[in-house]
Amino acid sequence: MYSPLISQLIESLRILPGVGPKSAQRMALQLLERNQAGAKRLADALMLACEKVGRCATCRTLTEESQCSLCKSQKRDGSILCVVEMPADVFALEQSGTYSGKYFVLMGKLSPIDGIGPKELGLDLLLQKMLEPELQEIIVATNPTMEGEATAHYIAEMAKRNNITVSRIAHGVPLGGELEYIDGGTLAHALASRREI
């Protein structure tokens, strides 16, 4: 029905989460018919981000610098480390405005069936952080899924072996929910109500 280039654009837009065939078609036609300047800006921004954005050497979140602004900040509390699954979780927790410690991004969760073990999550790097004398508490903020809970338990055992207090975010995060989709008020409550595991 559409020319090859338009079809390719529609299919390319479908890789985005929550974008089905109809939404992709509407987006493609909007960009081509009504906002070609916006389409060019989008394409340029996407190309530049793909070329320049990598991982923070300290916390592993996304950044175009060797160390992200959160890790560089002297205002962050280095005695508390919040462990999350993905960079989107860092953004969600930062929007709550209640957490002032540092982060460690796992880039996933333990899932042996998918071949994701401790090495793939960088837990060796997390262990190095546990050996830093400044660190006193780890907040495990993995998603409350089976894999997230297994990951939290694994991290808690690591921390306990290194005499570090471990807490888990609590109330307000529904079982099976994902942090990036939860509002700031709920996340603030969850952080304030964390419990030791």
Residues contacting 6, CB < 8 A, separation 6+: 28, 32
**Beta strands 165-168 and 137-140, pairing class:** parallel
Mean pLDDT for 3-28 is: 95
Please give the domain boundaries of the chain with CATH numbers for all domains: 4-52 (1.10.8.420), 62-196 (3.40.1360.10)
Q: List pLDDT tens digits, range 26-44.
A: 999 999 999 999 999 999 9
Evaluate if pTM is beyond 0.85.
no
Predicted local confidence at residue 186, as pLDDT:
76
Which two tokens mark 136?
């006193």
Predicted local confidence at residue 191, as pLDDT:
80
Sheet containing 165-168: which strands, arranged edge to edge? 101-105, 77-84, 137-140, 165-168, 195-196
The distance of Cα 10 from the centroid of its chain, to the nearest Å, equals: 27
Rg (the chain; Cα; Å) = 20
Predicted local confidence at residue 189, as pLDDT:
66
Which two tokens mark 131?
């050996």
* Residue given tokens 């055992």 in the structure block: 157
Q: List pLDDT tens digits, range 87-138.
A: 999 999 999 899 999 999 999 999 989 999 999 999 999 999 999 999 999 9
Distance, in Å, from the CA atom of 197 to the CA atom of 152, rounded to the nearest integer, reads 9
Q: What average pLDDT does the chain have?
A: 92
